Each structure stands twice: as C-alpha cells, then as structure tokens.
C-alpha cells in the first residue's frame, strides 16, 4: 500500500476512485453509468475540450452534418432504445429544431445534427450527475490532455500536459476515435499539413467557388466534406479518390426481417456469413423487400462473429470484404446522400478508384498529388486548388503521434489489438500489456477495442460497453477497497 509520502513524491495533485481518460461520448456515457449505480465514488474525467460529451464526432456546429443513423438507432441508454426519440420529441416541441419538419418523417426516423446529439448526451450526463449527488458520487471535468500513465503499487498515476498528476484506483481509456484528418501520424505523408479539415466550412469559404477540390477517401467523412463544401458555397468540380471507388449507400428504414444468425450458430467464418447474407438479401428482393432489412439483423452478432474468428479469417475479411461491408453497413443519411447523388449526376463530383501516393510538386497557388489508378502500375499527377483528407479513422495506435498512446506503448502497458486495430484487452475491458497479461487497474472501452469487436464505435455498442464496464468497476471497488 502506498503512503502519503509516496503520493507526495509522485507529485499527486488530485485523487479519485476512477479516472476516465477522454470526455467525449464514450467517457460521458461511462461516467453517467457510474453515477447511476449505488455507492459513493469520485470520478475525474480528463478531457482537453471545454465541454464533455461531444468529442470529435459531436462537436460539429453545422446543421448539415447529421448522424448517419436515425434517432431510433442512436440511444445512449442501453435499457431504452427510444431514449433519443423521446428527448428529440421534447426538444422539437420546445422549438429547438424548426428545420426538422423538412424531413417529413416520424421523429424516430429523423437524422439529427451531430451538434444536437452532443447536447442530448450532455443533458443525460447532467441528469446522471444530479442522481449521483443523492448517492454521494461526483464526476468532475479536469480540462487537459493526458500525456503519460504509470501503474504504481495499487494506483494509476496519470500525468497531464500542464504538469498535474492525478491518482486513481482505476483508469479507463475512453479516448474515442482518432480521425485521420485531425490526428498527427508517426509516419506522415504530409497529407494533413496540406489538407483542409473536412468539417471546416469557414476555411472552405475562402476557396475560389469554381475551383477544383480533391478528396482522398470516399466513405462517410467524404460525405461530410461534400456537405461542408456545399454549405461554404463551393460550386466547382470535386474529384474523389479511393482504392475501390465505393460510395456509402443511403440509409433507408426497411421492415423487420427474421434474425437468421440467431437461428443458425453454425455460421462462423466471414465467407459463410457473406454467402448466407447474400442469400437472405436475394430472398428479400424476391419478396419486394429492401435488401437492407436482412443486412440490419447482422449488426447484433458482429461482436460474437468477430471475436470467435481466427486471425486468418479476420485478415480475409479486412482484405476482401471490408470495403463492401463499410459501404453497405455504414450508410449515409438521406439528405447528405441526396446531395452527393445530385452532384454526381451533374458531373461536378467524380469518383475514381485510385490510391493516394503522396504530394507532388506544383505551381504556386495550386496543389498536386500522386495517385495510382486501380489496375495501373504508374503514378498520375492530379492538380486542384485544395485537398481534403477523408480517409476515415486511424485505429493503429502505433501510428498515432499523440503523447499518451506513444507512452503507453513505450512502457509496455498496452499492445496493439488484432490486426493492429486499437489495443488488446480482455472481454471485460481490462487491457493486455506487452506480455499479454491483463491489467488489474487499467481498462478500455469504445473505439480502442475495435480489434476485439470490430464494430466498437457505434453509439449503441459503446452504450452497452459503458453499462457493463461501470458494473465491473463498481464490483472491483467494492471487493478490493484500498
């Protein structure tokens, strides 16, 4: 057991039962779950932003940047699938979103702006804080960036960028996602330094409205970038380059379909799953039912299927299936999809199956990149007035040039997850160190566990993880008091 002298030597400035590293949606949901549980506990949430609950994804201010799932799919309450719908109903009735009537659908089918969803998450955290007071529990925001972490005796010591040292009985890595467009890379191609932020409408307004804009990546971040350009008044050509040239499908609201995976647990490999899924989609189409209906039933089983697959099977999925899975499963909100489709039909937006191969020299006032078109060996130079990096999320923590991931790896406190997706951990979230040993006091949740569950970024997945991890931490706190 460490003593007061030990704590003084380590420069401890604050102490708590649980340190949550990251105050975006993941951290806020975990804090809310901890506050709702009986018992007294102190929680410190370390987050550099001025607000909790928003993170990268829900700090957007433009109404056009919406969720890619409708309200019925985006509840932060794992025990109430209608929680967001209920909150949104009251919010709209109070005059909070007058533009919502433009979608002309039931509230459960609305795709709210991301900034509005961030407000919803904040209000649910505020309510949990009020409930926590009744139990004698608190959750406080410590504004700063975590830059180092050590495990000392029976505690976790967390160092912040301002020199503060926080001591906690347990710590949770709730760092959320590292968007490639905003995340420094250990091996940089110079792309981010030259590229515009996909969500920076103000910067896009400074472009010549008729100029050519180049976009790397064709997923949901690209869709957001196109929305940003439209709102900025850009009317020139948009050239999109991605390895497979696939666009996200539009998200529709299909009728219910039988959960065929719940009835057949013999389907285990990615190849078996894809064969069965294609068969189910063909059956749906033959009955005049949207193919998205059977696809949506797979969602609940992804964690089980991924975790039980072998490394070889996982690699096969990532190499051969992932691009099509992403474009079919991670679908675009209707209004954004309509904009992309219209610009494509007008010829203003063109999709090219090609990979980015670095910046090229260009004349002053222009920007050039090297691309390799699919099926071609040589490089081609493409020029434009601006470049946007829409290549999605960086899941490989070895490539994330931020202090905390680099320090955790250097200290051997974590190891890369399967296929270098996030970090390795036990099913209960306890991280695995460099030797494969589970930590007693360091846990992770949400996007860092991508390699374990594959789909570990969606709101409903993170909400379920938050509830389970909160219960686990309270159990540990109860049975192993310091």
Strand duo 42-46 + 146-152: pairing = unpaired
Q: What angle do CA 190, 399, 373 make, to 5 degrees?
A: 55
Instruction: Please tell me the predicted confidence (pLDDT) of residue 186.
Output: 63
* CA–CA distance, 191 with 400 (Å, rounded to integer): 14
Same domain, 55 and 127: yes
Residue 358 lies in a domain: yes
Q: Tell me if 20 sits within 8 A of 31, measured CB to CB.
A: yes
Report helix, strand and coil shares of the chain as percent, to nearest 5.
40, 20, 40
Number of domains in the chain: 3
Residue 425 lies in a domain: yes
- Walk across the sheet containing 349-360 and list its strands: 380-384, 367-373, 349-360, 238-242, 213-216, 386-389
Same domain, 57 and 8: yes
Instruction: Please tell me the predicted confidence (pLDDT) of residue 414.
Output: 97
Q: Tell me if 140 sits within 8 A of 125, measured CB to CB.
A: no
| pLDDT > 80? residue 48 | yes
Answer with the one of 389, 409, 427 that is the final residue of a domain.
389
Same domain, 155 and 38: yes
Tokens of 63: 């109404």
Q: Is 259 left (phi over 0), alpha (psi -120 to 50) or beta?
A: beta
Residue 186 lies in a domain: no
pLDDT band at 1 (very low <50, low <70, confident <90, very high): very low
| pLDDT > 60? residue 6 | no
Strand duo 165-173 + 213-216: pairing = unpaired
The pLDDT tens digits of the residues spanning 280-314 come to 999 999 999 999 999 999 988 888 888 888 888 88
Same domain, 342 and 432: no
**Interaxial angle between packed helices 114-135 and 25-36, expressed in degrees from 0 to 180 and rounded to the nearest 10:** 30
**pLDDT above 70 covers what percent of the chain?**
96
The pLDDT tens digits of the residues spanning 144-195 come to 999 999 999 889 999 999 999 999 999 999 999 888 877 776 666 677 778 8
Same domain, 19 and 118: yes
Tokens of 100: 């919502």
Same domain, 345 and 436: no
* CA–CA distance, 30 with 229 (Å, rounded to integer): 35
Same domain, 36 and 127: yes
Same domain, 266 and 280: yes
Same domain, 138 and 153: yes
* CA–CA distance, 240 with 353 (Å, rounded to integer): 9
Instruction: Please tell me the predicted confidence (pLDDT) of residue 188.
Output: 62
Residue 226 lies in a domain: yes
Tokens of 223: 């869709």
SS3 call for 55: coil
Residue 78 lies in a domain: no
Residue 266 lies in a domain: yes
Answer with the one of 306, 329, 352 that is the final residue of a domain.
329
Answer with the one of 352, 373, 389 that is the final residue of a domain.
389
pLDDT band at 206 (very low <50, low <70, confident <90, very high): very high
Same domain, 402 and 382: no
* CA–CA distance, 259 with 467 (Å, rounded to integer): 25
Same domain, 424 and 380: no
Residue 103 lies in a domain: no
Residue 211 lies in a domain: yes
The residue range of the domain holding 451 is 4-65+113-178+395-479
What is the DSSP track for 284-332?
HHHTT--THHHHHHHGGGHHHHHHHS-HHHHHHIIIIIHHHHHHHHSPB
Average pLDDT, integer, range 52-61:
86
Q: How far is CA 406 from CA 14, 274, 412, in A?
A: 24, 37, 10
CATH of the domain at 463: 3.50.50.60
Same domain, 55 and 174: yes
């Amino acid at each position: 057991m460490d003593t007061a002298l030990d704590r003084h030597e380590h420069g401890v400035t604050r102490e708590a039962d649980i340190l949550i590293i990251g105050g975006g949606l993941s951290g806020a949901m975990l804090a809310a779950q901890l506050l709702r549980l009986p018992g007294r506990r102190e929680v410190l949430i370390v987050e550099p932003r001025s607000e909790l609950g928003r993170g990268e994804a829900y700090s957007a201010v433009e109404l056009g940047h919406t969720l890619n799932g409708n309200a019925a799919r985006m509840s932060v309450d794992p025990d109430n699938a209608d929680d967001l719908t209920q909150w949104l109903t009251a919010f709209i009735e109070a005059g909070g979103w007058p533009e919502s009537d433009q979608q002309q659908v039931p509230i459960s089918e609305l795709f709210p702006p991301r900034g509005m969803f961030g407000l919803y998450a904040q209000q649910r955290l505020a309510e949990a804080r009020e409930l926590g007071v009744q139990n004698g529990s608190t959750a406080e925001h410590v504004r700063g960036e975590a830059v180092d972490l050590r495990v000392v005796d029976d505690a976790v010591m967390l160092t912040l960028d301002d020199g503060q040292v926080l001591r906690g009985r347990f710590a949770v890595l709730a760092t959320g996602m590292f968007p490639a467009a905003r995340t420094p890379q250990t091996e940089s191609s110079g792309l981010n330094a030259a590229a515009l932020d996909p969500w920076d409408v103000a910067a896009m307004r400074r472009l010549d409205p008729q100029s050519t804009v180049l976009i790397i990546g064709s997923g949901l971040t690209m869709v957001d970038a196109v929305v940003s350009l439209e709102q900025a008044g850009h009317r020139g050509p948009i050239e999109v380059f991605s390895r497979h040239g696939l666009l996200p499908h539009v998200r529709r609201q299909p009728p219910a379909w039988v959960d065929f995976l719940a009835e057949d647990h013999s389907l285990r490999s990615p190849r078996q799953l894809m064969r069965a899924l294609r068969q189910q989609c063909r059956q749906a189409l033959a009955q005049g039912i949207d193919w998205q209906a059977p696809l949506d039933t797979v969602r609940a089983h992804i964690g089980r299927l991924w975790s039980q697959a072998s490394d070889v099977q996982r690699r096969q999925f990532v190499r051969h299936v992932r691009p099509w899975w992403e474009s079919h499963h991670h679908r675009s909100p209707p209004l954004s999809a309509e904009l992309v489709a219209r610009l494509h039909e007008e010829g203003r937006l063109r999709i090219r199956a090609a990979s980015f191969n670095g910046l090229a020299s260009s004349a002053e006032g222009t920007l050039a990149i090297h691309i390799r078109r699919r099926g071609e060996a040589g490089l081609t130079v493409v020029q434009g007035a601006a470049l946007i990096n829409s290549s999605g999320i960086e899941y490989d923590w070895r490539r994330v040039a931020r202090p905390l991931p680099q320090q955790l790896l250097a200290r051997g406190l974590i190891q890369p997850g399967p296929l270098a997706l996030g970090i390795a951990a036990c099913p209960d979230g306890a991280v695995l160190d460099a030797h494969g040993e589970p930590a007693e006091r360091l846990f992770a949740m949400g996007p860092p566990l991508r390699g374990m569950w594959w789909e570990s970024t969606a709101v409903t997945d993170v909400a379920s993880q938050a509830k389970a991890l909160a219960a686990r931490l309270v159990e540990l706190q109860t049975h192993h008091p310091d």
